[in-house]
Structure 1
Amino acid sequence: MASNGQLITAFYTSFRNKDYKAMQDCYAENAVFNDEAFKNLNSEEVKAMWEMLCKSGKELSLTFGNVTENETGGTAEWTASYLFSRTGKRVVNNVYAKFVIQNNKIVKHTDTFDFYTWAKQAFGTTGLLLGWTPYFRNKVQTAARENLDNFMKKK
């Protein structure tokens, strides 16, 4: 059985290689995922999210490091660089990930990043002016959810 740190490393190595199937295998059937754009995704939804991002990510590159582990999970820091599909703007997103792991599977995965910094990169002037507002964050979350729902319907 792999250690929690090995599981986290395998997850991000798979992400870097755009191997969404290997990423999906890291999650338990009762997994929950949250980040600044996607809220309370269940296992099926988070697996579909990674597939969608791997398949649609334009010029996606990823680095990761500072993987830590403990008996209940671990953490990692990762950076994704990509073209944001809605605007075509380059985004470099620095993310802190926290994991709860049981039986060598991720049961809770929470990514945090500076939403305002992301919004300024992804939306330019609009993000600069509105990216700090709850209204704008809600609009992004709604659009992200709709994109995921549409992706899942097409599968």
Structure 2
Amino acid sequence: MHTNQTTLENFYAAFARLDSGAMAACYAPDAQFDDEVFSLRGHREVTGMWHMLCNLTKAKGADVWKLTSSGIEADARTGKSHWEADYRFSTTGRMVHNVIDGVFEFNEQGLIIRHRDRFNFWSWSRQALGTPGLLLGWTPFLRAKVKAQAAANLQKYLAQRNH
């Protein structure tokens, strides 16, 4: 097994126990992260997102949190994963089961430089947002609104951490 596969296994094990510090240690200083909601550049933003999400889950949903990962593979340059998360969406209190596939790129030091997660936004929005997600989750309008709110929440969280 390549050491980058171990990095990914450690990353998801840390995520399962909501250990954002251990997750952050897997990323390079110039890391990039993209999914259906976030587009982040640099260690501060990428790891700040994980800190925020883990802290919210600990505060508002640790009782229902569950993460499983599978299909983790990596070589010297790239990796991939499949993971599923069950959690309470902090904004609405609604339960979500999200199915995600991740792809990764690593630097020579074995740190993640690019992380791209993909999931079905409409499926997520129906669960997380209820009727608005059901009716509008497929539209660019709702996706843009969710992305803008998530970005604002992260910037507010990062600003509070600097004080």
| Number of residue pairs the alignment of both structures matches | 154
123, 126, 135: which one aligns with 2:132: 126
**1:67 and 2:82 correspond:** no
Q: Matches of 1:143 and 1:25 in 2, distance apart?
A: 27
Q: Percent identity?
A: 38
> Structure 2: where are the runs of 5+ without partners?
none
Q: TM-score, normalised by structure 1?
A: 0.96
Q: Which structure dedicates a bigger proportion of its chain to strand? A: 1
What whole-Å deviation, never above 9, does each CA across 1:31-61 have from its counterpart, x for those lacking one? 0000111013322101111011111012322
Following TM superposition, the consecutive aligned residue runs of length 4 or more in structure 1 with deviations greater than 3 angstroms are none
> 1:7 matched to which residue of 2?
7
> 1:142 matched to which residue of 2?
148
The correspondence of residues 83-122 of structure 1 with structure 2, limited to 5 A, is 83-102=88-107, 103-122=109-128
SS at match of 1:116: helix
Structure 1 vs Structure 2 CA RMSD: 1.0
Shift of 1:79: 0.7
Q: TM-score, normalised by structure 2?
A: 0.91
> 1:80 matched to which residue of 2?
85
Q: What one-letter code is carried by the residue in structure 2 that aligns with 1:125? A: T
> Structure 1: where are the runs of 5+ without partners?
none
SS at match of 1:23: helix
Q: What one-letter code is carried by the residue in structure 2 that aligns with 1:36? A: E
> 2:51 matched to which residue of 1?
51
Q: Matches of 1:40 and 1:27 in 2, distance apart?
A: 12
